[in-house]
Structure 1
Amino acid sequence: MRNIVIGSGPAGRLGSLELGKLGEEVTLIEKKHIAGTCLNEGCMVVCALTDITKFIDANSRFNNYGFIKSQLEISYEKIVAKITETQEKLRHLNQLENESFGNNIIYGEASIEDNGVTVNGESFEYDNLLIATGARPFIPNVKGSEYGLTNKDILKLDDVPEKLNIIGGGIIATEIANIYSTLGSQVNILARSTILKELGETTKKYVLENIIPDVNIHENTNVSEVFKDKVLTDDGEELEGTAFFATGRVPNSEIAEGLVELNDDRTIKVNEMMKTNVENIYAAGDVTGGYQLTPVARMEGITAARNMAGYANKVSYSCIPQTLSLNTEVSFVENEKSECNEDDKATIGIPGIAGPSAFWKILSGDTGYTEVEFDKKNNKINRINSISPSSTSDVAYLSYLMRMDYDLDDYGDFLEIHPSTDSNYKIIKNMWL
């Protein structure tokens, strides 16, 4: 069967790979760069810059301890050049990987007409279509918004901004604040309501006081106007510096308008098989809304591909692990389906454990913090907030146990590797079981 995939971000790229593995005929159409926002403008760029800020943070710590004396000279221009060079290598590898399964990749802007897709003046018919066109930064209707930056502009900057006003209070806003604060910017976060609603209060407090202590937080603050070198808030306060919008994302669903049903927020409406209201048209990734995370987009793309190839498959969104890429990672997961009442909840929180990347933080008392909420009645995990160098993998594995609905007694046979910075095993094995 002829399958066309529009968009090569995590959803489209993994969907194409899955179709190719299943022996299906695939044409993958990409407007600009393979691998989408994640590699080219999003999380991979943030992670690359955060690797550098972790090094700066460690260097500062060791200098303060007195056993290393070094003065760093940071070239933002060269950092950008090396990120770009790495992106080019990864794009090449991603293309080779897709082509190794016989998939045809075409670069150009696609349009959907009748029962075909047109790109670069050439039309292609399809039996199944997967729309994985992603999303773009949302720019609020604020006077002067054209002066504001977004994640698309990170690699276009000539140097680190002297002063930066980040508009937004979520994960992206916090990650950007951490990067540029560590690189030397004076940073303000301007949150319309409160910052980091995704985290528990104790975890949030730790992040603000120990990981981004130099960032000025302005909660319940609206921006009324943006200028080239300052922003004006609703209460008349002027804050000098460049504006950076981290105010959410909007779907690139224009290609599907009038073709399939859209939700009220203009995301493409799909069922648990990633199928639209049109029998042979599927959608996956950020264009469908929901969790705008690379692993979720991959999962959705693979689910769509299997259904396109005739293998019935459904997607599940329970216990999705998430993280903030900061100088110390902050990861969290919650069982949204838990019916545990307040009387049956128990929470244990402890400081982080000394181990890889945490030993030298003991002297300053910022090894991290982990908090686990339990369902006492059913002996399950309800929620985890974990701040540690290993939290991204720790919480990912624990989210699997939560998703599979394991009883916590099954965790008793878990054998950790020493040394470890994972406080979860200590809480679960030594304090709970």
Structure 2
Amino acid sequence: MKNIVIGSGPAGRLGSLELGKLGQDVTLIEKNHIAGTCLNEGCMVICALTDITKFISTNKKFNNHGFLKSQLEISYEKIVEKIVETQEMLRKLNQMENESFGNNIIYGEASIEENEIKVNGESFEYDNLMIATGARPFIPDIKGSEYGLTNKDILKIDEIPEKLNIIGGGIIACEIANIYSCLGSEVNVLARSTFLKELGANAKKYVLEKIIPDVNICENTSVMEAFKDKVVCENGGELDGIPFFATGRTPNSEIAEGFVELNPDRTIKVNEMMETSVSNVYAAGDVTGGYLLTPVARMEGITAARNMANYPNKVSYECIPQSLSLNMEVSFVENEKINCSDDETATIGIPGIAGPGSFWNILDGETGYTEVEFDKNENKIKRINSISPSSVSDVAYLSYLMREGYDLDDYADFLEIHPSSDSNYKIIKNMWL
């Protein structure tokens, strides 16, 4: 059977790989660069820059303690050059990996016309189609929005901005604020409502006071107009600095308009098998909305691929772990199926304890913070907020146990690797069980 996948981001790339592994005939069409937003404009770029800021932060800490004396000279131009060089290497590897399963990769802009796909003047018929065209930064309808930067522009900036106004209050806004504040920019974050509403109050407080203390956070603040070097807020106040929009994502669903059913927010409507309203047409990843996360896009792409190859499969969105890439990792997960009142929950929170990457933080009292909320009746974890160098792996592991329905007694058999997961070990095994 002929399978066409449009878009090679996490959903399309992993979906086409899965189809290739299952022995299917696959054509993968990509408009720009293989691996999509994640590698080329998104989380991989953020992680690369955050690696730099972590080093800067650690260097500053060691200098303050007096056992290391060094001065750093930062070349943003060279950082960008090396990120691009690494991206080119990874693109080649991703292409080789896909082609190793016999998949055909075509670069060009695709269009859908009845039962065939057109790209570069050629027409391709298909038995199954997967639309995985991703999403792009959402730009709010404000005067002067054309002056604003987005994550797509990070590798186009010539030098570190002296002043930066980040418009948005979510994870991306926080990550960008951390990066440029650490690189020396004077940063304002302008959140229309609440900043970092994804986190619990104590975890948010830790981020503000310990991780991004130099960032000026303005909540319940709307921007009315943007200029090249300033923004005007709803109250008439002006803030100097380049505007940077971190205001969410909008789906690249134009290719499917009039072909499959769209949701009110213009994302492609799919069921739990990633099927659209058209038979044998599937969609996966950011273009379908929901969790705009690389691991979720991968999961959806693989689910769609298995169904395209007649291996029935359903996607599940229970207990999805998330993180912020900052100078200390912040991770969180919630079990949405546990509904209980405040009287039925117990919450335990402790400062992080010394471990890889945090031993020297003890001197500054900046060892992190972990908080776990329990359902006392069901004896299960309801929510975790964890700030520590190991929180990403800790929370990913614990989210799996939550998803599988383990109760707190089952965690007694968890054997940690000292000192990586000590925070969760101390809370769950020593303080609760």
TM over 0.5: yes
Shift of the alpha carbon at 1:426?
A: 0.9
Match of 2:233 in 1: 233
Given the two structures, how large is their TM-score scaled by the length of structure 2?
0.99
Match of 1:26 in 2: 26
Q: Does the CA-based 8 Å contact 1:380-1:406 persist in structure 2? A: yes
Q: Which residue identity is paired with 2:108? A: G
Residue by residue over 1:55-114, the C-alpha shift from the partner in whole angstroms, topping out at 9 and shown as x without a partner, is: 000000000000000000000000000000000000000000000000000000000001
Q: Does the CA-based 8 Å contact 1:333-1:383 persist in structure 2? A: yes
Written as runs of structure 1 = structure 2, the 5 A alignment for 1:242-321 is 242-321=242-321
C-alpha separation between the residues in 2 aligned to 1:351 and 1:315?
Answer: 36
Match of 2:194 in 1: 194
C-alpha separation between the residues in 1 aligned to 2:418 and 2:201?
Answer: 30
Residue by residue over 1:202-221, the C-alpha shift from the partner in whole angstroms, topping out at 9 and shown as x without a partner, is: 10001001000000000000
Match of 1:134 in 2: 134
Match of 1:419 in 2: 419
Shift of the alpha carbon at 1:417?
A: 1.5
Residue by residue over 1:222-271, the C-alpha shift from the partner in whole angstroms, topping out at 9 and shown as x without a partner, is: 00100011000010111001000000000000000000000000000000
C-alpha separation between the residues in 2 aligned to 1:149 and 1:316?
Answer: 35
1:112 is the counterpart of 2:136: no
C-alpha separation between the residues in 1 aligned to 2:36 and 2:169?
Answer: 24
C-alpha separation between the residues in 1 aligned to 2:358 and 2:31?
Answer: 43
1:171 is the counterpart of 2:161: no
Supply the RMSD in Å over aligned alpha carbons. 0.6
Partner-residue secondary structure (3-state), 2:4: strand
Match of 2:144 in 1: 144
C-alpha separation between the residues in 1 aligned to 2:420 and 2:291?
Answer: 30
Residue by residue over 1:164-201, the C-alpha shift from the partner in whole angstroms, topping out at 9 and shown as x without a partner, is: 00000000000000000000000000000010000000
Partner-residue secondary structure (3-state), 1:343: helix
C-alpha separation between the residues in 2 aligned to 1:373 and 1:67?
Answer: 40
Partner-residue secondary structure (3-state), 2:188: strand
C-alpha separation between the residues in 1 aligned to 2:200 and 2:319?
Answer: 16
Q: Which residue identity is paired with 2:24? A: E
C-alpha separation between the residues in 1 aligned to 2:15 and 2:355?
Answer: 38
Greater mean alpha carbon deviation, residues 407-416 or residues 107-116: 407-416
Q: Which residue identity is paired with 2:372? A: V
C-alpha separation between the residues in 2 aligned to 1:328 and 1:70?
Answer: 22
Match of 1:432 in 2: 432
Partner-residue secondary structure (3-state), 2:364: coil
Match of 1:222 in 2: 222
Shift of the alpha carbon at 1:342?
A: 2.2
Q: Does the CA-based 8 Å contact 1:77-1:158 persist in structure 2? A: yes
Partner-residue secondary structure (3-state), 2:142: coil
Q: Which residue identity is paired with 1:344? A: E
Partner-residue secondary structure (3-state), 1:362: helix
Greater mean alpha carbon deviation, residues 402-411 or residues 128-137: 402-411
Match of 1:352 in 2: 352
Shift of the alpha carbon at 1:421?
A: 5.2
Match of 1:36 in 2: 36
C-alpha separation between the residues in 2 aligned to 1:193 and 1:142?
Answer: 17
C-alpha separation between the residues in 2 aligned to 1:352 and 1:14?
Answer: 36
C-alpha separation between the residues in 2 aligned to 1:140 and 1:8?
Answer: 27
1:339 is the counterpart of 2:339: yes
Residue by residue over 1:260-311, the C-alpha shift from the partner in whole angstroms, topping out at 9 and shown as x without a partner, is: 0000000000000000011110000000000000000000000000000001
Partner-residue secondary structure (3-state), 1:367: coil
C-alpha separation between the residues in 2 aligned to 1:238 and 1:76?
Answer: 28
Q: Which residue identity is paired with 2:72? A: L
Shift of the alpha carbon at 1:340?
A: 2.4
C-alpha separation between the residues in 2 aligned to 1:422 and 1:137?
Answer: 38
Match of 1:53 in 2: 53
Given the two structures, how large is their TM-score scaled by the length of structure 1?
0.99
Partner-residue secondary structure (3-state), 2:363: coil
Match of 2:86 in 1: 86
Match of 1:377 in 2: 377
Aligned residue pairs total 433
Residue by residue over 1:365-409, the C-alpha shift from the partner in whole angstroms, topping out at 9 and shown as x without a partner, is: 010000000011111000000000000000000000000001211
Greater mean alpha carbon deviation, residues 337-346 or residues 66-75: 337-346
Written as runs of structure 1 = structure 2, the 5 A alignment for 1:392-407 is 392-407=392-407
Q: Which residue identity is paired with 1:76? A: Y
Q: Does the CA-based 8 Å contact 1:223-1:234 persist in structure 2? A: yes
Residue by residue over 1:144-174, the C-alpha shift from the partner in whole angstroms, topping out at 9 and shown as x without a partner, is: 0010000000000001000000000000000
Deviation beyond 6 Å, 4+ runs, structure 1:
none
Shift of the alpha carbon at 1:5?
A: 0.1
Instruction: Give the gaps of 5 or more residues in structure 1.
Output: none
Match of 2:328 in 1: 328
1:15 is the counterpart of 2:4: no
Q: Does the CA-based 8 Å contact 2:118-2:124 persist in structure 1? A: yes
Partner-residue secondary structure (3-state), 1:363: helix
Q: Does the CA-based 8 Å contact 2:253-2:287 persist in structure 1? A: yes
C-alpha separation between the residues in 2 aligned to 1:313 and 1:73?
Answer: 52
Shift of the alpha carbon at 1:422?
A: 3.8
Q: Does the CA-based 8 Å contact 1:171-1:196 persist in structure 2? A: yes
